[in-house]
Amino acid sequence: MKVKAAINVEVGGRLEIDDLEIGDPGPSHVIVRQFATGVCHSQLHQMHNPALPRPLVLGHESTGVVVAKGREVTHVHEGDHVMLTWIQRDRLESTPDPTPWPATYQGKPVRHGDRSPTGVFTWAEATIADQQYVVKLTDAEAPTDVTAIVGCAVMTGCGAVVHSAHVRPGQSVAVIGAGGVGLCVLQAAYNMGAYPIIVVDLTDEKVAFAMTFGASIGVNASREDAVARIVEITKGGADFVFDAIGLGKTMEQMLAATRPGVNGLKDGGTAVLVGVPHGAPPTINPRDLFVGKIFRGAPGGSCRPDRDLPMFIRWFREGRLPLDRLVTRRYTLDQINEACDALARGEIAGRAIVEL
């Protein structure tokens, strides 16, 4: 089966829009014809990573319809609308490892990231994945365009609040970075009753946009000291500070802006790393840890996709997660390089999608 896909064949090079060959599904595979897929900053890191094998296929969040499946797949059937995600949908100790999928480009096996071909790729007209990365879209009335970002941006940002941090009503939250994931952190914090909710970014436009996703106070870090401002607003540091960027500098700011503990009374606040770490590593001040602050990561928002993706769809349908406003740009597959360039230049508010 030949499908048009975006393929990275050279480190840092332009993506090739060309035919990918997908073989017949194995017993645990699902073939999905795509409706839409998100454009995530993680893919930019992959495209410029010389350690990854080429040819490289990209993308890890999408919606589509099942067109074929293996005999062992029972949770979805041909004709079902589904979401794809990069986290196994219900991982248990007894869950078998995902099986490699058969896909080649010009006779060479393709890879996704630094793994063998067992993850997902979604920058393609159709894709093949192990059934563990395919979640049924149980709401038959849910749109199939804006929901494409639930499998990464929403899952990571909202999940970090609900599952990694366990934010509770009245606790203070600060979010560094108002991109697609950061906006999901803000909205989930608002939904959980956090207050105040502080957003930090470098432009007035992004800060203003973030205020429509639940932020109560905006800080433009290009004009004022973001850490000092968070500490001032929260009278000593926020209960939770989320870094949705992942640079060394923002990690340092995240930890510095987190509330210290009170010896014998309570632990310090929690700094939650949501963005993929990249660039120069942070210089951690040991005193921040000594005074009881907690530094933790939140890969995939600590989500179980089978349980959590349907919940986030419900939030959207109930008006508690405005995906239609979060998706601000739409591209075709032939325009994928334009989408990546715009994302790299910081021009995309919220999240961009590719419609297929």
Q: pLDDT tens digits, residue range 272-286?
A: 999 999 989 999 889
Q: Given this model, what pLDDT does residue 115 score? A: 60
Q: Given this model, what pLDDT does residue 116 score? A: 62
Which amino acid belongs to residue 298?
A: A
Phi, psi of 299 (to 5 degrees): -60, 125
Q: Where are the domains of the chain?
A: 2-137+322-355, 153-300
Phi, psi of 304 (to 5 degrees): -110, 105
Question: Which of the residue ranges 44-58, 68-82, 108-122, 309-323 would you say has the lowest mean pLDDT?
Answer: 108-122
* Span 127-155, average pLDDT: 96
Q: Given this model, what pLDDT does residue 114 score? A: 65
Q: pLDDT tens digits, residue range 54-104?
A: 999 999 999 999 999 999 999 999 999 999 999 999 888 788 889 999 999
CB atoms within 10 A of CB 146: 23
Q: Is the pLDDT of residue 264 over 80?
A: no
Domains 2-137+322-355 and 153-300 share a fold: no
Q: Given this model, what pLDDT does residue 140 score? A: 87
- The secondary structure of 60-71, three-state, reads CCEEEEEEEECC
Q: Given this model, what pLDDT does residue 118 score? A: 76
Q: Is the pLDDT of residue 105 over 90?
A: yes
* Span 33-57, average pLDDT: 94
Instruction: State the chain's mean pLDDT as an integer.
Output: 95
Q: How far apart are CA 60 and CA 43, in angstroms?
A: 9
Extract the tokens encoding 224. 């004022």
Q: From residue 262, how far is each of 63, 219, 269, 291 by CA, in Å?
A: 47, 27, 10, 8
CATH architecture of structural domain 153-300: 3-Layer(aba) Sandwich (3.40)
| % the chain with pLDDT above 70 | 99
Instruction: Quote the Cα angle for 172-176-178, to 5°.
Output: 110
* Span 25-40, average pLDDT: 97
Give the torsion sign (CA, 75, 77, 79, 85): positive
Nearest to 110 by CA among 9, 34, 17: 9
Q: pLDDT tens digits, residue range 165-204?
A: 999 999 999 999 999 999 999 999 999 999 999 999 999 9
Nearest to 15 by CA among 143, 93, 110: 110
CATH architecture of structural domain 2-137+322-355: Alpha-Beta Complex (3.90)
Q: In angstroms, how far is the first alpha carbon of the chain from the final one? A: 17
Tell me the β-bridge partners of 126: 33
Q: From residue 154, how far is each of 114, 151, 212, 323, 344 by CA, in Å?
A: 23, 7, 16, 9, 20
Extract the tokens encoding 323. 């995906």
The DSSP symbol for 97 reads P
